[in-house]
Amino acid sequence: MARPVTLFTGQWADLPLEKLAGSARQMGYDGLELACWGDHIDVVQAARDKTYCRRKRELLKKNKLELFAISNHLAGQLVCDPNDDARSDAFAPAKHHGDPEGKRAWAIETMKTTAKAARNLGVQVVNGFTGSPIWHLLYSFPPVSPEMIEDGYQRFADLWNPILDEFDKQGVVFGLEVHPTEIAYDIHTTRHALEAIGHRKAFGFNFDPSHLHWQFVDPVRFIDAFFDRIYHVHMKDAIRTLDGSTSILGSHLNFGDQRRGWDFRSIGRGGVDFEEIIRALNRIGYRGPLSVEWEDSGMDRIHGATESCEFVKKIDFETSRIAFDAAFDKKRGAKKKKS
């Protein structure tokens, strides 16, 4: 096995960490990527109390699990989003519901606190979302001017640079999960986001091929384009089911609805080419965990997460240290020397 295989706990936050840790070990995982919601990690407590952090790690160790990263997608989303409807209320404390700027201020401080929590937990990567002030301008009607788009990237930089200053101070990095509704959702918008913040090293990516695949973006080209910014990897699959009547935009249909033009699938059951992804990760020297983010509305999650762990361990492999024909060269060389 080339890399540890971990389970992202975001879709399992309904379970207490103690119960989930035991299940994850039984499913074959080497570690967990802890979500900062449910009871998995309280970032405020983790930032203040090293004893709390030690107990979390001891719980994982008791189940023979390691910790490589934590993730705070929910707070990160509210940093740049307009926050002007009830959808984002669920991500913030009740006292900020209905208050766009109150949610934003809370989110900014929470992401700074998450960097401190990561340091106390002994991990170097925080994954998450950034939100976007311009996602709602995706389709340019009513007409969208270039200045409006540039203002959106500047807004992102203004809001995230102070957060990234704290990440630098704590010696940790942020991995954006490039994703529709974020400031970066494909290769071109990712380049634009990096330019907006001056390519600072605190900002990189939690590579997730599923969100690229359904947009018809080649995940391998993303790895090659940002080879020095792949700070963490999600293993997640998706399938396109376009048939002439379905839409790639999802048609306002919930995940799991067979009428959708695409959906998430258990790993190995969708359209993502994980063979080429492993080869690309080997080329760039990525040695971190392969973290399963399991989502499949049509499958029992214990079954799905178990087979996903098995699939990832089977498909992962070490890169070669020698050329396959090196032995033949040695034989030829020996004959030449003898003659």
pLDDT of residue 330: 60
CA distance 202 to 9: 24
Could you list the pLDDT tens digit for every one of the 339 residues in the chain?
A: 589 999 999 999 999 999 999 999 999 999 999 999 999 999 999 999 999 999 999 999 999 999 999 999 999 999 999 999 999 999 999 999 999 999 999 999 999 999 999 999 999 999 999 999 999 999 999 999 999 999 999 999 999 999 999 999 999 999 999 999 999 999 999 999 999 999 999 999 999 999 999 999 999 999 999 999 999 999 999 999 999 999 999 999 999 999 999 999 999 999 999 999 999 999 999 999 999 999 999 999 999 999 999 999 999 999 887 766 666 666 555 454 444
pLDDT of residue 332: 53
- Residue 68's H or E segment, with its range, is strand 66-71
**Contact (Cβ atoms closer than 8 angstroms) between residue 129 and residue 182:** yes
DSSP 3-state percent helix, strand, coil across the chain (nearest 5):
45, 15, 40
**Contact (Cβ atoms closer than 8 angstroms) between residue 294 and residue 23:** no
Q: What number of other Cβ atoms are within 10 A of residue 138's Cβ? A: 12
Residue 204, CB half-sphere, CA atoms under 13 Å: how many?
21
Q: Is 158 left (phi over 0), alpha (psi -120 to 50) or beta?
A: alpha
Q: What number of other Cβ atoms are within 10 A of residue 95's Cβ? A: 9
Residue 208 amino acid letter: D
- pTM for this model (two decimals): 0.94
pLDDT of residue 1: 53
**Contact (Cβ atoms closer than 8 angstroms) between residue 337 and residue 329:** no
pLDDT of residue 202: 98
* Helix, strand or coil, per DSSP, at residue 314: helix
CA distances from 13 to 103, 136, 140, 248 (A): 22, 29, 37, 29
Kindly report the length of the chain: 339
Domains plus CATH for the chain?
5-338 (3.20.20.150)
Closest CA to 52 of 62, 66, 40: 40
CA distances from 218 to 149, 210, 285 (A): 24, 10, 19
Q: Is 179 exposed, middle or buried (0-12, 13-18, 19+ CB in 10 A)?
A: buried
Q: Give Rg (Cα) of the chain.
A: 21
**Contact (Cβ atoms closer than 8 angstroms) between residue 206 and residue 127:** yes
CA distances from 56 to 18, 21, 43 (A): 9, 11, 12
CA distance 311 to 313: 6
Residue 148 amino acid letter: M
Per DSSP, the chain holds a count of helices (H) and strands (E) of 12, 10
